[in-house]
Amino acid sequence: MTDWKDDLKAFFAERKSGETAGDADAEIRAEVRKFYASRVKPAFKELRKELGRYGREVTIDVGDDHASLDVRFRGRLELNYRIVVRGTRPHPESHYQVPSGGGLRSEGAFKTGARPAEITDLSKDDIVENFLREYRSCMAAVKP
């Protein structure tokens, strides 16, 4: 017969490790919120301002756990660009319309190599550069 005191001790040890994991999850969520607020939102605001100089209508939506930027020209969606964070790894996602009316979606990466980018690796400028690469690529694909 197992000692019930050992069982009880193991039970509370498991609960405590679950609380620690919960604390870690809360810390990650706080890092992600900070990433969106301190790097993504300022990058999107700068892009909105500059693209507006070229007649583009830009809508941004940045929250604690999401970010998207829509670029429209003459009412047509040129690009929907989103940044999705899984754990602490950010991924850009793009959607754009083609002249036939259909759309194309893609998911990319901020950095290439053996180690994927983490939110701590990216600056506001990295986000702007990635957006511009995606924007140029989609504009080349839908030449008028």
- pLDDT, tens digit (0-9, with 9 covering 90-100), for 20-58: 556 678 888 999 999 999 999 999 999 999 999 999 999
Q: What is the length of the chain?
A: 144
What are 45's two structure tokens?
A: 């605001």
Closest CA to 79 of 135, 37, 24: 135
pLDDT for position 17: 60
Sheet with strand 89-97: strands edge to edge: 57-62, 67-73, 76-86, 89-97, 103-107
Can you give the residue range of the structural domain that contains 28? Answer: 4-141
pLDDT for position 63: 92
Contact 118, 109 (CB under 8 A): no
Please indicate whether residue 60 or residue 115 has the higher confidence score (pLDDT). Answer: 60
The pTM assigned to this predicted structure is 0.79
Bridge partners, residue 60, by sequence: 69
- Of 14-18, 73-77, 92-96, 100-104, minimum mean pLDDT range: 14-18
Closest CA to 67 of 103, 41, 30, 91: 41
Structural domains in the chain (count): 1
Q: Per-residue confidence at 2, pLDDT binned at 50, 70, 90?
A: low
